[in-house]
Chains A and B, each alone.
Chain A
């Protein structure tokens, strides 16, 4: 009888331990994120405006890079492309509009232009030629504003395809799947 009661106590204690372990893990992660962000901000503030400017440039470039990689990756998949590419373009347009960092604005425009070309290629494959040419026109306008003398469809497609090829996952053959 007593042994049975002790077993129940320990089972309950074990359950409490496991639950609090997972709760502690969640709280630890939240506290770490908060603490890390606070530490970073304090460090940046104490290092002066130049460091703050550099950090904000890096952070903006990081967003652009992430979106660019994401756009190139999803463009090679028809379903994913249809679902996320337009959202991706919207996010890049937002960054472009909000950007207070004039020096990196052309780089954002370039990535936005490239995303328009991906969208045009995708629409072309889906036989939506009207939409495809609208995207291509937007891309051409951006590339012209970046000083490209040759912003023909062929050139832009070549530049975009070269980038897409870097991210394209080769189709799995039966042999490689084995």
Chain B
């Protein structure tokens, strides 16, 4: 094997490794980034679906616990990832909590939850205040459509 062939083979090896490695590294990191973003968006759906089904089917105590767990999770999630706002979802969850308290005749607690619901909802509609009954009506209508 001459010196020229050795150089040729070595160059082929080096160029092949570099090109393969570079593109594969770039594509894999892009894929992992996208995959992580998608998982971050969809993982909370487990709690969302659970909280909703509990709200529809479980007793007051368990439904309340599931909705509160979801609300606390969303607040933490929003704090950790401010780029993924959960304001609308939080408004809906707190309204459901208020509706649950209405059903149990706990008016004081219901008002507390509606204050939180309005807090999360107002930024979405440009600060326009919605009445408690308007918000409850909207959530009830949405839930009826989901049935």
- A residues with a Cβ closer than 8 A to B are 9-10, 12-14, 16-29, 31-33, 35-36, 40, 50-51, 54, 57-59, 61-62, 64-65, 68, 103-104, 106-107, 110-111, 146-150, 155, 159
Contact = CB atoms under 8 A, between A and B. Distances in A.
B39 A28 contact: no
Contacts of A33: 28, 32
Contact of A29 (B24, B59, B73): B24
Contacts of A149: 58-59
B46 A65 contact: yes
Contacts of B17: 20-21, 23-24, 27
B100 interface: no
B48 to A, nearest CB: 10
Interface in B1-48: 5, 8-9, 11-29, 32, 36, 39-40, 42-47
B21 A31 contact: yes
B50 A16 contact: no
Question: What size tier do the contact residues of chain B reach?
Answer: 35 or more
A50 B62 CA distance: 26
Contacts, number: 147
Given A58-B43, A147-B63, A103 B24 contact: no
B66 interface: yes
Given A107-B46, A147-B63, A50 B20 contact: no
Residue from A9, A24, A148, A150 with most neighbouring chain B CB atoms (10 Å) = A24
A21 B16 contact: yes
